[in-house]
Amino acid sequence: MVGKVITAMLPVLNDRLLGDELMTRQELADWLGISLKMTDEAFIFKPGFPYYMVGTKKRYWKRSVIKWIDDNQRS
């Protein structure tokens, strides 16, 4: 039983511990599993949503996005 729980948690833990991937807007939407429109409305256009400029393009650190989601969850 414990082994199954740990196995199920590994992808989440891996994302949280090693999630230092720089993503484009499309990659962010794919990772979140939602459309670009929903990504914009629910995340990118929200005040304080973290981004990093690469030239003139916005990019999103996975670790920063995870932290922002954790910090901005509604209960």
Whether pLDDT at 2 is above 70:
no
Residue 57: inside a domain: yes
DSSP letter string, 12-65: HHHHHHH---EE-HHHHHHHHTS-HHHHIIIIITSTT---EEETTEEEEEHHHH
Please count the structural domains in the chain. Answer: 1
pLDDT digits (tens, 9 = 90+) for 7-19: 776 666 666 556 5
| The pTM of the whole model exceeds 0.75 | no
The CATH number of residue 59's host domain is: 1.10.10
- Residue bearing the bigger pLDDT, 4 or 52: 52
Contact 22, 59 (CB under 8 A): yes
Specify if 5 maps to a domain: no
Query: In the prediction, which pLDDT does 6 show?
Result: 67
Please give the C-alpha separations between residue 7 and each of 33, 49, 60, in angstroms, as whole numbers.
21, 31, 28
Q: Is residue 10 situated within a structural domain?
A: no
